[in-house]
Amino acid sequence: MSSSETETTPGRFGPYGGRYVPETLMPAVMALEAAYAEAKADPAFWAELGELQRTYTGRPTPLTFARRLTEKCGGAQIYLKREDLAHTGAHKINNALGQGLLAKRMGKRRIIAETGAGQHGVATATVCALLGMECVVYMGVDDMARQRPNVFRMRLLGAEVRGVESGSRTLKDAINEAMRDWVTNPESYYLLGSALGPHPYPTMVRDFQSVIGHEAREQMLNQVGRLPDVIVACVGGGSNAIGIFHPFLNDTNVALRGVEAGGRGATLGDHAARFFAASPGVLQGTYSYVLQDDDGQIALTHSISAGLDYASVGPEHAWLHDTGRATYTAADDEEALDGFETLSRYEGIIPALESSHAIAEALKLAPTLRKDQIILVNLSGRGDKDIFSVAEALGMEI
């Protein structure tokens, strides 16, 4: 790909993307597109966001050389981009702050969000507290059970968490409910948490998350003296992955590898590995790869990690997949758990179960590469929220 501009026409990445929403929402989505275009062109907007990233989020997040993990694998050097050290414990704050400032600029008072693992919900609740806005977060009741520390955090931050009982009671259903709220209250601001949904969300969320890749690129050059050979990131909706990938798209010597949730097996319903089993379709406003049955009904998904447990994937990833600029692989629940434990013990860093999928891939990949090669893993979040799920999976009691 000669250009980093993967958006082939506004809102489209090759055939993927678009804007498949009910007419009631079209004016709101178009107003959002116009407001974002205006903000994007305003240096004052980025100056305010940059100041908050520095003084509130704690950016830039460090680049850490994982010495003991590298020695253990006996191959490529493994570096970690430490989004787990961003305020609220994951990369989700990057997008929540950006969109929160945009919502403020648009004069919005009420914020709607969905959340899977709860990290986006916590980030949104945090930004709403910071900016003094009302916050309603939709979350599948199954996810509320497995990520209950985050439910409590959101409530402490003043957000109203609404449990979603429909469908698979996970991220997909939370997005449906958030969109129903937005259709009913188009004056509210829908703060979508991943690089999915109708245009302009995939582009806008990617722009706000690209701070990860821009920092990482500079840190690699300054700290290590060269770019990595491979960048590895987990892919649910795909916001942390697109955030670290995008600034490297023109660096064609840098391989980009997304890791999906292999769940508990290859049967439809047991995983969220879209690039292995899905076909193009429309879900929740965008055309992308969708796990579905022969009738076009959206399939159930499973992953030990709530943040990767989603039937579709951001449209820009679909395009990167088709063009071959990025490759996609999967780590199953057990491999993720192994990544979780290994990083904890070898580096003193407890990763989120989502990020543990990327760690699992690095553990597989490193021994196959030379010692002078470099793998950069986007450590998208920390794992405190996951201790209950992990304890249960390991048969331990807390």
Partner 1 sequence: MSRIAATFARLRQEGRVALMPYLTVGFPEPGSTLDLVPALEAAGASLFELGMPFSDPLADGATIQRATQRALDHGINLSTCIETVATLRARGLQAPLLLMGYYNPLLRYGIERACADFAAAGGDGWIIPDMPPEESAQLHAAAAAHGLDLIMFVAPTTPDDRMAEIAARASGFIYVVSLTGVTGARASLSTNLATVIERLRRLTDLPLVVGFGISSPAHVAEVAQIADGAIVGSALIAQLEQLPAADLVPGATRFVRELMTGIER
Binding residues (CB under 8 A) for partner 1: these are 18-28, 166-167, 172-173, 176, 179-180, 183-186, 279-285, 290, 292, 294-298
Sign of CA dihedral 309, 322, 176, 38: positive
> Closest separation between CB of residue 300 and partner 1, Å?
9
| Residues whose CB falls within 8 Å of the CB of residue 119, separated by 6 or more in sequence, listed in order | 88, 89, 90, 92, 150, 307, 352, 381, 385
Q: Give the 3-state secondary structure of residue 279.
A: strand
Cα 199 to Cα 244, 287, 290, 313, distances in angstroms:
20, 10, 17, 14
Q: Which one, 23 or 372, has the nearer CB to partner 1? A: 23
Q: Which one, 239 or 292, has the nearer CB to partner 1? A: 292
Cα 116 to Cα 153, 269, 305, 349, 383, distances in angstroms:
14, 17, 9, 22, 14
**Spatial distance between the Cα atoms of 124 and 166, rounded to a whole number of angstroms:** 23
Task: Determine contact, residues 39/102, Cβ cutoff 8 Å.
Answer: yes
Q: Which one, 29 or 135, has the nearer CB to partner 1? A: 29
> Closest separation between CB of residue 298 and partner 1, Å?
5
By CB neighbour count within 10 A (0-12 exposed, 13-18 middle, 19+ buried), where does 325 fall? middle
Task: Give φ, ψ of 233 to 5 degrees.
Answer: -145, 145
> Closest separation between CB of residue 34 and partner 1, Å?
12
Q: Which one, 173 or 335, has the nearer CB to partner 1? A: 173
> Closest separation between CB of residue 9 and partner 1, Å?
12
**Spatial distance between the Cα atoms of 333 and 341, rounded to a whole number of angstroms:** 12
Tokens representing residue 363 in the block:
């553990």
Q: Which one, 58 or 167, has the nearer CB to partner 1? A: 167
**Spatial distance between the Cα atoms of 328 and 25, rounded to a whole number of angstroms:** 33
Q: Which one, 100 or 236, has the nearer CB to partner 1? A: 236
> Closest separation between CB of residue 149 and partner 1, Å?
28
> Closest separation between CB of residue 73 and partner 1, Å?
41
**Active-site annotation, residues:** 92, 114, 380
The amino acid occupying position 18 is: G
